[in-house]
Amino acid sequence: MAELPGPFLCGALLGFLCLSGLAVEVKVPTEPLSTPLGKTAELTCTYSTSVGDSFALEWSFVQPGKPISESHPILYFTSGHLYPTGSKSKRVSLLQNPPTGGVATLKLTDVHPSDTGTYLCQVNNPPDFYTNGLGLINLTVLVPPSNPLCSQSGQTSVGGSTALRCSSSEGAPKPVYNWVRLGTFPTPSPGSMVQDEVSGQLILTNLSLTSSGTYRCVATNQMGSASCELTLSVTEPSQGRVAGALIGVLLGVLLLSVAAFCLVRFQKERGKKPKETYGGSDLREDAIAPGISEHTCMRADSSKGFLERPSSASTVTTTKSKLPMVV
């Protein structure tokens, strides 16, 4: 008898096992699941297998953008017992417990934005042949847009261009943005207003005085909407120059005032300064040098034709003689 090739033998064995019912098959919805914030999400998972003593069910979760290999378990069912685990342990349960009737649907209550991601439903039953024992469900938690922030940049004078921006920090799915101008105004010229609903940017070109006004940005998704407002003021270029010149003049006057104040204060401080006085050790021009008597000073003065009597406490008194003069 000829030997059967290896692949043919494996294929025949697989067909026999499948016909015998020894296979595990997990079925989950193909469409992504969306649940509003704070509500309960039901992640449907069904399976077919010959449930035995070795049956095990595991639900796990992986954040958006990460590989499935980085998933972490959130619930186990094995040996007839249920074991919630991880940060979601208080909010997860099974729709049917024990899940031995082919239903392994997961319930997640009070969903948070952090619950958005991929959930893995995996059934293990070692006696059965594994064909497709894993199912993936993508869950999105719907969040209304948060109040957006409006901002403006660019030149707001006549003939200039400016950009109005609007952005919400929260919102799932990502909100779209629409700018509207409040009140009555002339129809803008074609191409002077260009808006991007995805980025929330409104570009205004060739500004005129009629471009001034209040602009409102509305952020919207299927959960609701939120808005912010911004006032745009367009000015004449000459007004900007006049304003700049006026500011320059005011600064100049302020500087001159400060300088004058400092000068006046300096003069006052200088006037209050005390006059210089001679101390005991200062030399005077009319002082008598040590070792020179007053008589010497008198002789010196007599030779010049001057006779000064020194101011002394002891004076010489001349008395008239009482003797008669003989002629």
In the chain, where the domains are located:
25-142, 149-232
User: Are the beta carbons of 135 and 27 closer than 8 angstroms?
Assistant: yes
At 212 the pLDDT is: 92
CATH superfamily of 25-142: Immunoglobulins (2.60.40.10)
H or E element in which residue 10 lies: helix 6-19
Name the token pair of 258.
């400060």
User: Are the beta carbons of 42 and 105 closer than 8 angstroms?
Assistant: yes
Fold equal for 25-142 and 149-232: yes
At 66 the pLDDT is: 95
C-alpha 43/C-alpha 137 separation (Å) is 7
At 240 the pLDDT is: 54
What parts of the chain have a pLDDT lower than 70?
1-22, 51-53, 129-131, 238-245, 272-327
CA distances 200 to 19, 162, 163, 194, 215, Å, are 58, 14, 10, 11, 13
Name the token pair of 193.
């207003």
At 189 the pLDDT is: 78
At 32 the pLDDT is: 94
At 317 the pLDDT is: 40
At 143 the pLDDT is: 97
> What top-level class would CATH report for the domain 149-232?
mainly beta
C-alpha 302/C-alpha 296 separation (Å) is 10
C-alpha 151/C-alpha 156 separation (Å) is 13
Task: Summarize pLDDT for 12-45 with one digit per residue, the tens.
Answer: 434 434 444 467 889 999 999 999 999 999 999 9
At 273 the pLDDT is: 58
Q: What is the pTM of this model?
A: 0.61
At 290 the pLDDT is: 55
At 255 the pLDDT is: 87
